[in-house]
Every structure is written in C-alpha cells, then in structure tokens.
Amino acid sequence: MKVTITGAGYVGLVTGACLAERGHEVVCFDIDSEKIEQLQRGEPPIYEPGLKELIEKNIKAGRLHFTTNCKEAYRQRDVIVLAVGTPEKEDGSPNLSYLKKAVDDMACHITQNCVVVTKSTVPPGTNEKISYWIHSKKSPALNVEVVSCPEFLREGSAIYDTFHGDRIVIGAASKEAGDLIQEMYKDFHVPVVRTDIRSAEMIKYASNAFLAAKISFINEIAAICERVGADVEEVAAGMGLDKRIGPQFLKAGIGYGGSCFPKDTKALHHIAEKVSCRFEILEAVMNVNDSQSEVLMNKARTHMGSLRNKKAALLGLAFKPGTDDIRESQAIKLAKALIHEGANVHVYDPVAMENAEKELGNSVVYSGSMGEALLDAEAAFIATDWEEITEFPLSNYKLLMKKPIIFDGRNCLQMEKIQKNDLTYLPIGRRGCISPII
C-alpha cells in the first residue's frame, strides 16, 4: 500500500520503517526540515536500537522516503498515519494543536479516497473531531475515513514491539476502513482487536494508567518492605509468578517517566473529571510517582548529611535504558534536586548526554565515561539501568570514588556482588548494605 506517516518522531519513524520493511511504499512527512534532511541522508535523529539499519535498508530498496512537502506527501495515498505529538497542557489535558495543524495541512492535499489512521494518543471523541476537520477542508468528491489505531511500542525496544506486539487495536466506524488497516498490518502477524473508535481511544489510556499503577503500587510496597525488613525484589518476584499479576512493571525505583506515562495518566484524570468521575486510584498513582525521587534524596541526606560542594556522580539520564529520550525523566529530576542541594553533579549516559545538555545546560559536568563521573566522587546515584551501568565492575567504585556510596534508584545491582566488594549500598525497598564507616 502507499502509506504516508505524518510526524517523523519516535512513533512515526519506527512505524514508517517497519511498514516499509513489510513491503509498503512509505513517505514520512514532518515540518522539521532539519530532521527530514538528516533522515534523507539515512541518519535517524533519535536513538532507537536497529532503527538506523532499518531506515538505510528501506531507503536503498526505494520503499522509504522523507519529505517536508505536503503536496508530495499526500498525493495518491491509500493510508495516512497521524503520529504527531500530543503533549500535556497546564491543566493536564493533551494539546491537540499539533494534530489540528497537521490535519488541516493534510486535508487539502489529499487526492484520492483513503483512510486516515490516528496513532497519536488522544482522548475519546478526538477521532470524530479529526474526521470533522478533514471533511471541512478536503475535496467533497473524496471519501476519507478515520480509524483509531493507538500505539503501544516502548522506546528502547520499539522495533521489536512493532513486529511482536501483544495486539494491534483497530477502532473503526466502518468495516471497510477497519479491514484496510488490518490488511496493512497482515504481515506483522500480531493479534488484532477490532473495536469502535472511542473504545480504541480509551484502551490506550486505560493500559498506560494501569501500568503506571503497577509501578506506583510496587513503590508503595517497597516503602513498607524497608520498614518491616522485607526485600521488595523478592516480594515482586514472588508476586510476579502469579499469572494473574505477572512480573512486568513490578520494579521498585525512583518512579516512572518518559513522554507517555506522566502525560497519559494526567490526561485520563482530566478526561474522568470532565465527565464527573473522580479517579481516586489514579490520583494516588500520580502522587506516589511525584514524590518517588525524593525517596533517594532522603536517603542521601540521612547517610551523607549535607551534599553541599560534594561531588555526586549521576549515572543515567534517559528515562529508561535503550533510548536518548529524557522527556519527564526521573534522572533529570534527580539531577535538579542534587544541584538544589549544592552538590557538584557529574553526569554520564551512554546516549542521552546531548538531549540532557539542552535541559541542564552548564549546571552539571558532562563526563565522557562512567569512570570519569565516578572519579573522586563522594556518592554515586544510579538513575537509569543501562547495561553499561549494571555491568560496570563493582570493584571500580572503590578504586575510583572518594567514598564508595551507591544510591541505586533502579535496584539494578546484585546484592551478593555488593557485599563481596564491601560497598555502601542504598537501594529502594531492599535491605541494602550500610558500611560502619558512615
């Protein structure tokens, strides 16, 4: 099929490259000309494992193109996929202005009957609005239907997720439009769920809110574990074996971040409020997450006293491993809290340093390696569990640091190894190891 992707960001680029890989003829359209020029050279503007190779391969095969030209992007397309951002507004509701602008630009350039698919995360009723926006601009002779197909990929494993997802949700008003999108995905061999449009829109928010709830739940359990002398990692492992619960998203730490969970939980809360439903569980989920990075800071204050003028190594800046995305990253929040306490913060991340610099400027020192960040540091804070960080030899902490104290915000180091290396280790909800020198 001839497919256009509108918005060449994390979702749009991965979707476009994967559809091209399955034989579709794909054009990615974006208003960011710098991004498009980079992509035309085969260089992805974001870090996502396997994406560069997939883009290069499909550009070469002539199935993947990039443009900033509306006329070129929307001429003779079977499917148009909307993947522009829907960031949160001050009141927690999603900002639909990027979507509106993208739809307005697109509608007047459509030249044949087609289906418009919304991958952007939007509140129930938005696809009906999109349909209205399109119909007020497009040529009356054309038949354009709108289908909701929310995206579930995870940054860091986005390509794997696209080819091996748990489900593809297709919410359509007409059977024909839904069938066309199911046909587009036929070579992905991912189970398809067909629903009405509003249910599809709700599935996305309900799924993300539920996953966020699992994280805040285990973080609350971690706080209790610390006080009763239990180990949250053992508790989570035991809980996760129950198939009704499952092991995923039961990882205690400094809380969830990223471009989706914080914004989507707020948006769902706003949606509920608008229809006079008080979503009390979700309020608690968000409150727990908001204060979760403080848990690590409190440990630092208790065990080190003042952090003023002390060198602190902050390991990891991305909101999770496998991505350069720092949107709503708890690591950035932690960096700001450490700066606020007067610490000299030296940061390291394998791929997110450039993005972090845009946010943190010269308030921190950017280290070229983990070793450089740790050298002469009085405390190490682990904020992202990159393999490079979890596999870093523990003996080096002792060799490099002034005082080998590790505050592990991701519970990602092995207790037995910590004990063997005689380090002071303060994780979240685990017994930890506190050396008598402090």
Catalytic residue positions, numbered: 260
DSSP lists the bridge partners of residue 26 as 3, 64
CA–CA gap between residue 378 and residue 405 (Å, rounded): 7
Residue nearest to ligand NAD (CB): 9
CA–CA gap between residue 191 and residue 166 (Å, rounded): 7
If one asks whether residue 83 binds ligand NAD (CB under 6 A), the answer comes out as yes
If one asks whether residue 84 binds ligand NAD (CB under 6 A), the answer comes out as yes
If one asks whether residue 120 binds ligand NAD (CB under 6 A), the answer comes out as yes
Closest contact distance (angstroms) between CB of 240 and ligand NAD is 23
Closest contact distance (angstroms) between CB of 168 and ligand NAD is 13
If one asks whether residue 31 binds ligand NAD (CB under 6 A), the answer comes out as yes
If one asks whether residue 67 binds ligand NAD (CB under 6 A), the answer comes out as no
Closest contact distance (angstroms) between CB of 18 and ligand NAD is 14
CA–CA gap between residue 367 and residue 374 (Å, rounded): 9
CB of 10 or CB of 47, closer to ligand NAD = 10
Q: How many helices (H) and strands (E) does the chain have?
A: 18, 14
If one asks whether residue 10 binds ligand NAD (CB under 6 A), the answer comes out as yes
* Contact between 178 and 172 (Cβ < 8 Å): yes
The annotation status of 302 as a binding-site residue, yes or no, is: no
* Contact between 229 and 431 (Cβ < 8 Å): yes
In the window 377-396, what residues touch ligand NAD (CB under 6 A)? none
Task: Tell me the site size for ligand NAD, rule CB under 6 A.
Answer: 28
CA–CA gap between residue 354 and residue 357 (Å, rounded): 5
If one asks whether residue 30 binds ligand NAD (CB under 6 A), the answer comes out as yes
Helix axes 330-340, 280-304, angle to 10 degrees: 40
If one asks whether residue 29 binds ligand NAD (CB under 6 A), the answer comes out as yes
CA–CA gap between residue 273 and residue 373 (Å, rounded): 45
The annotation status of 154 as a binding-site residue, yes or no, is: yes
The annotation status of 249 as a binding-site residue, yes or no, is: yes
If one asks whether residue 6 binds ligand NAD (CB under 6 A), the answer comes out as yes
Alpha helices, H only, 305-391 = 330-340, 353-360, 370-374, 387-390
CA–CA gap between residue 375 and residue 2 (Å, rounded): 54
Q: What is the CA radius of gyration of the chain?
A: 23
If one asks whether residue 326 binds ligand NAD (CB under 6 A), the answer comes out as no
- Choose, by CB under 6 A, the member of 3, 4, 5, 12 that binds ligand NAD: 12
The annotation status of 377 as a binding-site residue, yes or no, is: no
Closest contact distance (angstroms) between CB of 335 and ligand NAD is 22
The annotation status of 334 as a binding-site residue, yes or no, is: no
* Contact between 201 and 171 (Cβ < 8 Å): yes
Closest contact distance (angstroms) between CB of 284 and ligand NAD is 23
In the window 147-206, what residues touch ligand NAD (CB under 6 A)? 151, 153, 155
Question: Where are the extended beta strands (E) located within 287-438?
Answer: 311-315, 344-348, 365-366, 379-382, 405-408, 424-426
> Site residues (CB under 6 A) for ligand NAD?
6-12, 29-32, 35, 83-86, 98, 101-102, 105, 119-121, 151, 153, 155, 259-260
What residues are designated binding site for NAD(+)? 30, 35, 86, 121, 155, 263, 327
